[in-house]
Amino acid sequence: MQIVFSPEVDAGEYQRQGKDFNFPDLTKTLCPLCHAEHLKKHGYYKRYLIIIGFMGLILIRRYKCQACGRTVSLLPSFAHPGRTYGITSIIGVLMLYYAECRCVMDSVRICKARHSVDCSRQLLRHFRKRFEGNLPALVDCTNTVFSLRGPPDTGEDIKKRGKQYLKCAQRLNPEDVSKKLFERSRMTYLSPLPSSQGYHP
């Protein structure tokens, strides 16, 4: 299980501090999975992260429940659960495609030139499929969490709806949106799609 937290420093400083970083202390927290025992510190693991302005290995603090044996990891909010690419790189390339109305090739080329983030056509397609498949649920959950009114109906134009949502997320802060969505519903910008939607990564 992962818990997303706000580190209050950027990724470079987070990496520099390493084990000296002041991680949230979960030792007085009951296991969120079985609620039987307090969590115990259980070391760290390394994870590669790619975001705008940073690429490299970061440490993830881990805790373990002595009762059920399952682990809980603390994920900094600039990272995206289950992804090497973090929030800014994912939102950055999606914004290029949806908000600037670029074609796929322009989006990946400009992402590299503007943000120094490599994103292939295939990866952008994967991001788009996940994002578009999750868009109705993302809109509903974001509106509920942040007490917003829904964006105007744009009919069947998925690109316009995607653009509206991404602009809203940027206005609210994409990391904060991602963190609160994950806390509330375990949903992310790129959550796996149900097989009934006909897309298999």
Domain ranges of the chain: 2-76, 87-191
Q: Which residue has the tokens 């973090």?
A: 86
Asked if the model's pLDDT at residue 80 lies above 50, the reply is yes
In the beta sheet, which residues pair with residue 65? 39
User: Count H helices, E strands: the chain?
Assistant: 6, 4
Asked if the model's pLDDT at residue 200 lies above 50, the reply is no
For every residue of 60-129, DSSP letters joined together read EEEEEETTT--EEEEEETTS-TT-SB-HHHHHHHHHHHHTS---HHHHHHHHHHHH-----HHHHHHHHH
Whole-structure pTM value: 0.87
What does pLDDT average to over the chain?
A: 91
Q: What is the pLDDT of residues 129-144, one digit of tens each?
A: 999 999 999 999 999 9
Asked if the model's pLDDT at residue 67 lies above 50, the reply is yes
What distance in Å separates the CA atoms of residue 66 and residue 102, rounded to the nearest whole number?
Answer: 51
What distance in Å separates the CA atoms of residue 100 and residue 145, rounded to the nearest whole number?
Answer: 27
